[in-house]
Amino acid sequence: MTGKRTLFVTRPSLPPLADVMPMIEKIWASRILTNSGPYHAEFINGLKSYLGIEHISLVTNATVGLMLSVRQLGLTGEVITTPFSFVATGHALLWGGVRPVFVDINPKTLNIDASKIEAAITPRTTGIMAVHCYGRTCDVEAIEDIASRHKLRVIYDAAHAFGVQHKGQSVLKYGNLSVLSFHATKVFNTLEGGAIICPDKETKEQIDRLVNYGIVDEQTIETIGFNAKMSELTAALGIVQLRHIDNYIEQRRLVDARYRELLANATGIRFVHPSGMAPSNYYSFPILVGPEHGRTRDQLYQALRDNDIYARRYFFPLISDLPMYKRLPTEPVRELQHATEVADRILCLPMYADLSAAEQERIAAVIRGL
Ligand X SMILES: *Cc1c(COP(=O)(O)O)cnc(C)c1O
> Using CA atoms, how far apart are residues 178 and 174, in angstroms rounded to an integer?
7
Q: Does 139 bind ligand X (CB under 6 A)?
A: no
Binds ligand X (CB under 6 A): choice among 67, 88, 336, 343: 88
Contact 156, 174 (CB under 8 A): yes
Q: Which of 62, 105, 112, 240 binds ligand X (CB under 6 A)?
A: 62
Half-sphere exposure of 302 (CA within 13 A, CB side): 5
CB atoms closer than 10 angstroms to residue 168: 6
Residue from 39, 43, 84, 86 binding ligand X (CB under 6 A): 86
Q: Does 284 bind ligand X (CB under 6 A)?
A: no
Pairing of strands 194-198, 55-59: antiparallel
Beta-bridged to residue 227, according to DSSP, are 212
Across 131-147, b (16+ Cβ under 10 Å) vs e yields bbbbbbbbbbeebbebb
Residue 85 engages ligand X in binding (rule: CB under 6 A): yes
| Consecutive H or E run containing 153 | strand 153-157
The only residue of 82, 89, 178, 320 in contact with ligand X, by rule CB under 6 A: 89
Q: Is 286 in the site for ligand X (CB under 6 A)?
A: no
| Binding characters for ligand X, 166-205, by CB under 6 A (x = yes) | ---------------x-x----------x-----------
Q: Which of 78, 113, 157, 208 binds ligand X (CB under 6 A)?
A: 157
CA distance 94 to 282: 30
Nearer to ligand X, 194 or 350 (CB): 194
Q: Is 208 in the site for ligand X (CB under 6 A)?
A: no
Helix (H) or strand (E) holding 237: helix 232-262
Residue 61 interacts with ligand X (CB under 6 A): yes or no? yes
Give the range of 15-23, 55-63, 68-76, 222-230 binding ligand X by CB under 6 A. 55-63
Return the number of the residue (63 or 360) whose C-beta is nearest ligand X.
63
Nearer to ligand X, 85 or 231 (CB): 85
72 binds ligand X (CB under 6 A): no
C-alpha distances out from residue 189 to 82, 133, 210, 230, 360, Å:
25, 18, 23, 13, 23
Interface pick for ligand X out of 101, 131, 289, 342 (rule CB under 6 A): 131
- The least CB distance from residue 186 to ligand X, in Å, is 6
CB-nearer residue toward ligand X: 131 or 351: 131
Site membership for ligand X, residue 130 (CB under 6 A): no
The piece of 61-69, 102-110, 210-218, 322-330 that touches ligand X (CB under 6 A) is 61-69
H or E segment at 262? helix 232-262
**234 counts as binding ligand X under rule CB under 6 A:** no
Closer CB to ligand X, 269 or 348, in the complex: 348
Strand arrangement, sheet containing 285-289: 269-271, 285-289, 346-349
Euclidean distance between the first and final Cα of the chain, in Å?
Answer: 20
| Size, binding site for ligand X by CB under 6 A | 14
Residue 121 corresponds to which amino acid?
I
Does 288 sit near ligand X (CB under 6 A)?
A: no
Q: Is the bond into 15 cis (omega within 30 degrees of 0)? A: no
| Nearest alpha-carbon partner for 27 in 215, 245, 240, 248 | 240
83 binds ligand X (CB under 6 A): no
The reply to whether 51 sits near ligand X by the rule CB under 6 A is no
What residues form DSSP beta bridges with 57?
A: 196
Is residue 78 at the binding interface for ligand X, with CB under 6 A as the rule?
no
Query: Within positions 246 to 275, which residues make up the interface with ligand X, using CB under 6 A?
Result: none
Residues forming the site for ligand X (CB under 6 A): 61-63, 85-86, 88-89, 131, 157, 159-160, 181, 183, 194
